[in-house]
Amino acid sequence: MARVLNQTTYNSLLDSLCKLPFRNRVQSLQKLFPELSVDTLKCIVAQECQKRMKGSHGRLTTSETVEAMYKKFTNSILMNEEPGILLRLSDEVGLTPALLARSIIERHYQRDDKSKPAKLLVSTLMKNTALIDDRDLAFETYLCLLEDDEYGPIAEATKQSRGYEYEIYLRMELENCKVAFLHEDHLRMKGYDKTPDIKLEIPVAVDGQVINWIESKALFGDEEVHRGYLKDQLYSYWNRFGPGLVIYWFGYVEDLEKIHQNRIILIRDALPRNMVLMDQHL
Amino acid sequence: MALILDLVSGDIALFHVFTWLDIGSVHQDLKELLKDESENIRYSFPQLLIAFIKEQTSSIVKLHNIHPYELHTVASPKRENLLPTVNNLSLSSPSPNFKNNGSCQETRKIRKITPQRLDLSSDSAFPSLQQSAQTREIPKKRRINPTQLIESPVTTRVPLQFGSCSRPSPPALGHNAFNQAQEQSCHKSLDQERALLKEKKHQITIPTISDLGSTAPKNWMCVEPDISFVTKLSQLDRLSALCSFCLSRNLVPSLFSEIQFLIQLLVLRVSPAKLKQTHLVQSLLDSVHNCVYFSAKTLEHLEGIWCHVDQSVLQQLMHNPRLLLFCPEWTNDKLPKLISSITNVDRIPPHKTVANVAFQTETDNRFNFASDSSFQVFRKQRDQFCEAWQIWKVNSSIPGWNMSIALQKMIQSLVDLRRDCVNYAHLARLFRSQLLNVAQLVKPINELEEPDGPLGQLQSSDPDKLRRLRDRLTNPPESRPARCVGTENDIKMHFEGDQEFFRDFILLAASPAFNEHLKNSLVSGIEDLSSSEDCDDRAQFAETVIALQVMAKFLGFLHFYPHASADHLPEHIFHHLSRLRISQREPIDLVSYIKDAFYKGRLVLVIPWVVTYLTLADPVSLCLPGFHSVLCHLIFVYRKAELAPANAFLIRILLGWLFSQSNFPLPLLAKPDDDLLIEFGNLSLATTDDQLPRLDQSRLVDSSLIHQCCPFLWSWKHLLAEFACSDAKNSGEKASVSRKITPVSAEENPSPVKAPAVKSLQKSLEENFFHNQPSSVKRTVEFVAERLASNVVRDVRHQIIPRLVLHAQATLKTWPSTAKDPVESLCLQLCADVRNEAASAATSAIASIESTLTALLPNDLLPPVRRVCVSIASKLTQGKVLDWIQLHVTKSLFKNDLEVELAKLDKSCARRVPGSPTASDKPQVVHDPTTQAPSFLIDRLKTLIRQVIRDASKVSEQDLIDLLSNCEGTLHRRVDVTPIVSKCLQQLTFDLLFIVCVFQPESIGSQTIIAWVAFWCKTYPSVDGVETEEPVQPPGALISTCVWQVLTPKQLLLLAQSTSPRESWNHVTTLLLQLMKSGLVRYKDVQEQAIAVVRQEWPQELLGRFATCVRDIVDWHRNQKSEPNLSTSESCDDDGLLSWLSWFCAQDDL
């Protein structure tokens, strides 16, 4: 199953994605692009959703719109509508279910002066909906969290876990390959200002290129994502440790390497099998 | 003049002259000639000789034909750093040297430098090549400029200045070759020019001759030298012998210029027509034949020089048709042998593949900063600096790109991001490291000269094109990108290639603070490298020399830039400025460096950078008294230093180059040795106990390093090459006239004499011990001690301190709150602990010294000697560790950590997630990759819950049992479970179990419930007393945030949807009871939950079941209480409230 896409495929994938309704988009895409790995598709869908939310979240959660949505919600409760009220509202306004639920909770727990409640309270309630005093809101919120793969405590935990799982996986693979390295925790302890996931204490070569560090990313590397990482992390590593490697475990768009210009940072979707280690024979 | 003429035409044995010049003893025969002035003349004799030769050749040389093309051409490669280019000089104004002989104050003119950076591979760098092909036939306006024809050889020929300035007899001034030339050119004026023009016009139509080796003289319209036409052979031979003697004994001030001049004579081209028109003054060298003969003979005798120059220069000599004719033996036999004997080992440091400045924990990590914010800011500064450099790399060759527009803001903000000495110092260090990195990356200069390179090919296929190319490079058309900062009128010191970035960075940053730190950094870098011990390897040595030159160049730039001026300074202003600067200090004490290097045999390392530094000096500087001493030292070194041949050649060619700078105070060059010796001070200082290896006698220098340090040497080759290539007689442009900026110097700093400290007997014993051992013994001992101590310190920093601090933070919790100042006393305790542990760490490190030293010290050391070494090393190590502890292990080291922890404790005794396993809590886990990944498990649970609620899909009891074991595996046998994930799994598993109890009571039995509760109990043990201390919650009245919420409104709502409520309630009651039994849920929690429930309205049926459930709980609780051995703090709780609730809810009429 392919995880590395060329720009054309990726563009047509994004095109189809835009035309699909919000639910079950992965399954629909699977039919359109059977040759692509499901994980890659999931990742692309999730990233598209996050991009969309980044663009519209602020606009959709002004106090007026939230007030209107809250009214609608309380009305629906009064009308004894079927459970799934927030889910339907979510489809209607275009906020993801978890984000919508959060806004409604914030409104529900608003302070006397109409200001938002403490963030800690809201996130505690989101994590454990059983603590919400309003039984309907609690249940509706819970349904929303179950539906949302991008936002909400469960989705966040999944994402975080996935990142960490791949990091640990990478460490183990490297250990298997007998590569000597320091990982993030070591580096932080030693007072490094920038800490790649893996800093190779003895460099290795991949496809004829020496690398000094490896960064693991459990997501799909499109240009926007990659540029963001270059700016915040990868170039900083390059500045300090020289050429390195970034692994997008869920694939990437081809030819991203060309935006690095003369700074060599390899991109792969797995730990290369053909690493050349330094000769340590006498 | 007469003296030399007499010498040359007389019959005194030249041997006597040589002896006189060498040691000053005057032979009887010479006495008459010299009269009483033997000593006066001795030091100026070589300059007189040069002046004589130039006078003799002046009339013929000025007839030398310059191809119109050549007027602006510079016959030199582009990537050279120090190479002067003709467009740097003003062609229209004659060099001041010739107007004001001897007055060095009038002789300076600052070059305006147009930054040039050549990228041959880039099309954009040569945008107008095609155009030039089209416009080939159309003469450009600069091609013919008759007035310049006369002047250009005058303005560009520098060597004369030596002769003209130091000539002792006033009448000679009137006969100065160049004064004469100018006068004559005025007289002859128009007629002459017209004739010249005609001739030029004729020449232009002559087709290009591309065959290099061809000696087809007929087409060339110039007098071909012929050995049979040479007159006054014996006199020429004597003159040549004198000249080559002076050259090879370093008696002339600038070896470089004189050889340059000889080569110019060799390639002299005079058209027969012109020769006829001109009336030549009778002299020794009044014909092309004589000149070429003289030049060839002299060049032939300079064997000591040719073995140090690049092979390609020798190739040019070997193939020179005139040399073939005049010195067949040399060109056919000796030169080929010489060429083959030079092993062409490429010693220029190989291209480095690493282009970044590596992060080094020793110098760059958090411990090297005074505060977190300083550290964080520098992280940004580092990245921005690298970014600016990258942007420049990518864009600098793009036409129209302007660095100041693109980067000024960025550079200014990054440099002054934090006005703090630590940040400036770090930034300066980064700047320096990047600069050195780039300097080593620069391609070797002769790369352009390689026959296989694009330029090399061009040289053979179309030399004319190559010349035009070069022309374009030195005279950039308007379309060239204006990358340099500021306006055209700005003074730019000459920087090439990537170094431009660094110069412009300094200019754009315009930060005095940064400049100061950068100066310090460069000075200390020079200091370090100058005393570098790692020079035994040739490549390493070359790298060091180049690094020193680059640092010196930038130091010179920082120091002299404020004094540069684009204008010619009038005398009164000049004097005013020099008065102002009379006591100015140099940033670096050159005199002591030179003196030191002289005595320690390290001139070959020091002279190159000193010269580089001085060539950046402004005109005023060189005339400051502080510089007098520096320059005298250099002249002394030039005359007297004894080095291995190649080393000697390198420093003499460099010094000669410096001496030939237009601003150099010439009278100094005629000073007798004795005067210079006074400047040099007491020679007795020489014997200092020093461990540094002597370099001057080592074979470290080869021709490629020489050419890299002295790029101007390529002009020899280009003179020859252009002679060989040109279509007509070109070769004109005596290229590379050095008109650089002049040196400066500060007051000589008296070298600080340290008061001899009172040494203990032991100390002097130790000193003597090392003194009598090979120097490597001391170095090894010190090195081992240094490294061991550094390891111990590292251990203390990274292991011992963090461990003790962590421990202290833990004890802070149990510290009695009544204690007055817990942090203070803990800090004291910590200091003592750290000191103790560090001391024992040092002791254990010392244990390894013996074996280490045994392996490193010479094998033949006597065992007792070795033992002494071990004990000294141990002592040193311990001392260093103790020093560090004294300095760093103080209360303030811990204060911050503890206060932060205390603040945390005050804020919330524990916000820790109950039971969430953290890395430190968990015992070492062996990762089991066969278990399910946490993210997968979360996903699975989530999907299951959704399906049960939404789609009512069935979950079997077996599914639940499998899930349990999966969860167990994931949570207990994996290392990649984060606290958040663990917490999330806790919530999801509980949710699932509860939902199955509610929606599918038939698929679950009490055993399963019990098993799950047992699992939770094990995985998420409840931390007693934690939940009761919840911070004050905002309205909304959350009392307990624990996961195990059974009787909350949401759960009741779910229960209300159950299709078989009785079974569901039974299971839920079992679940709640189990949770209580295992201590996960307390009786008090149930009370609170129940109260929250009855605040809302519920269907009566639900309330009834709720009442039953609550009653079961109360019953269980009563039984608990009756068992005395199980009495807990809870047992005193009142059951009344819940009993009442249960009764209340069971009422039908509610």
Distance from CA of B373 to the nearest CA of A (A): 12
A186 touches chain B (CB under 8 A): no
* pLDDT above 80 for B496: no
User: Percentage of residues in chain B with pLDDT exceeding 70?
Assistant: 67
**Which residue of chain A has the CA closest to B1042?**
A128
Give Cα separations from B847 to B500, B667, B877, B1038 (angstroms). 53, 65, 11, 61
Torsion over CA: A224, A225, A230, A232 (sign): positive
Closest residue in B to A118 (Cα) is B1034
Asked if B1150 has any chain A CB less than 8 Å from its own CB, the reply is no
Check CB contact under 8 Å for B390 and A109. no
Rounded mean pLDDT of B103-124? Answer: 40
Q: Which of residues 926-955 of B touch A (CB under 8 A)?
A: 927, 929, 933-935, 938-939, 942, 945-946, 949-950
Tens digit of each residue's pLDDT (9 = 90 or more) over B167-198: 333 333 334 444 444 444 444 455 665 666 55
Q: Is the pTM of this model over 0.90?
A: no
Question: B390 and A161: CB-CB below 8 Å?
Answer: no
Three-state secondary structure of chain A? CECEECHHHHHHHHHHHHHCCCCCHHHHHHHHCCCECHHHHHHHHHHHHHHHHHHHHHHHCCHHHHHHHHHHHHHHHHCCCCCCHHHHHHHHHCCCHHHHHHHHHHHHCCCCCCCCCCHHHHHHHHHCHHHCCCHHHHHHHHHHHHHCCCCCHHHHHHHHHHHHHHHHHHHHHHHHCCCCEEEHHHHHHCCCCCCCCEEEEEEEEECCEEEEEEEEECCCECHHHHHHHHHHHHHHHHHHHCCEEEEECCCEECCHHHHHCCCCEEEECCCCCCCECCCCCC
The torsion defined by the Cα of B615, B619, B623 and B624, in degrees rounded to 10, comes to: -90
Q: Which residues of B touch A124 (CB under 8 A)?
A: 1038, 1041
Contact A160 B980 (CB under 8 A): yes
Q: Between chains, do B1034 and A111 touch, taking CB under 8 Å as contact?
A: yes
Contacts of B416 (CB under 8 A, 6+ apart): B509, B511, B513, B514
Given an 8 Å threshold on Cβ–Cβ distance, is A124 in contact with B1045?
no
Compute the distance between CA of residue B999 and CA of residue A84 in angstroms, rounded to an integer. 17
Handedness of CA B1005, B1007, B1012, B1016 (dihedral sign): positive
Q: Compute how many other C-beta atoms are within 10 angstroms of the C-beta atom of residue B782.
A: 15
**Chain A contact for B980 (CB, 8 A cutoff):** yes
Task: Indicate whether this complex's ipTM tops 0.95.
Answer: no
**How confident is the model over B914-942, as pLDDT tens digits?**
333 444 444 567 888 888 899 999 999 99
Chain A hits for B431, CB-CB cut-off 8 Å, are: none
Which residues does residue A214 pair with via DSSP β-bridges, in sequence order? A198, A245
User: pLDDT by residue (tens digit) across A187-233?
Assistant: 888 888 889 999 988 888 888 888 899 999 999 999 999 999 999 99
Centre a 10 Å sphere on the Cβ of residue B891 and count the other Cβ atoms it contains: 14
Rounded to the nearest angstrom, the minimum Cα separation between B797 and chain A is 9
pLDDT of residue B202: 53
Please check whether residue B241 is in contact with residue B36, taking contact to mean a CB–CB distance below 8 angstroms.
Answer: no
Number of residues in chain B:
1150
Residues of A in contact with B122 (CB under 8 A): none
Is there a contact between B393 and A262 if contact means CB atoms under 8 Å apart? yes
Contact across the interface for B978 and A161, Cβ inside 8 Å? yes
Is B986 part of the contact surface with chain A (CB cutoff 8 Å)? no
Choose between B104 and A282: higher pLDDT.
A282
Residues B966-1021 pLDDT 10s: 999 998 888 888 888 988 999 999 999 999 999 988 888 888 899 999 999 888 87
Whole-angstrom distance, CA of residue B418 vs CA of residue B409: 15
User: What letter represents residue A49's amino acid?
Assistant: C
CB B446 within 8 A of CB B76: no
B784/B202: higher pLDDT: B784
The count of other CB atoms within 10 Å of the CB of residue B1105 is 23
Q: Say if CB B97 and CB B177 are below 8 A apart.
A: no
Collect all residues of chain A within an 8 Å Cβ-Cβ radius of residue B802.
Answer: 189
Q: Please say whether the beta carbons of B597 and B609 come within 8 A.
A: no
Nearest residue of A to residue B378 by CA position? Answer: A193
Is B356 in Cβ contact with A238 (below 8 Å)? yes
Picking from A134, A161, A210, the nearest residue to B1049 by CB comes out as: A134
Query: Does any CB of chain B come closer than 8 Å to the CB of residue A264?
Result: no
- Looking at the complex, does the CB of residue A143 fall below 8 Å from at least one CB of chain B? yes
Contacts of A144 in chain B (CB under 8 A): none
Q: How many CB atoms lie within 10 A of CB B420?
A: 18
CB–CB contact B984 A210 (8 Å): no
Confidence of residue B732 (pLDDT cuts 50, 70, 90): very low
Q: Give the span between the Cα atoms of B19 and B245, in whole angstroms.
A: 11
Q: What are the pLDDT digits (tens) for B643-665?
A: 888 888 888 888 888 888 777 77
Q: Among B41, B97, B32, which residue's Cα sits nearest to residue B251?
A: B41
For B532, the 3-state DSSP assignment is: coil
Q: pLDDT band at B481, cuts 50/70/90?
A: very low
Verify whether the Cβ–Cβ distance B382 to A128 is below 8 Å: no
Burial class (CB in 10 A: 0-12, 13-18, 19+), B1121: middle
Question: How far apart (Å, rounded) are the C-alpha atoms in residues A236 and B386?
Answer: 8
Residues of B numbered 311-370 whose beta carbons fall under 8 angstroms of chain A's beta carbons: which are they?
Answer: 353-359, 361, 364-367
Lowest mean pLDDT among A27-31, B458-462, B512-516, B613-617: B458-462
Residue with more model confidence, B564 or B686: B564
pLDDT at residue B521, rounded to an integer:
94
pLDDT confidence band for A244 (50 / 70 / 90): very high
Contact residues, B window 361-420, toward A, CB-based 8 Å cutoff:
361, 364-367, 375-376, 378-379, 382-383, 386-387, 390, 393-394
CA-nearest residue to B389 within chain A is: A239
| Residue B359: pLDDT over 80 | yes
CA B246 and chain centroid, separation:
41
CA distance B1135 to chain A (A): 24
- Tell me the count of A-B CB pairs closer than 8 A: 165
Write out residues 192-211 of A within 8 Å (CB-CB) of B. Answer: 192-194, 210
Surface of A (78-117) touching B: CB under 8 A: 109, 111-112, 117
What share of chain A has pLDDT > 70, as a percent? 99
Query: A177-203: string of b/e by CB count within 10 Å (b at 16+)?
Result: eebebbbbeebeebbbbbbbbbbbeeb
Chain A residues 45-64 within an 8 A CB cutoff of chain B:
none
Which residues in chain A are contacts of B356 at CB distance < 8 A? 238-242
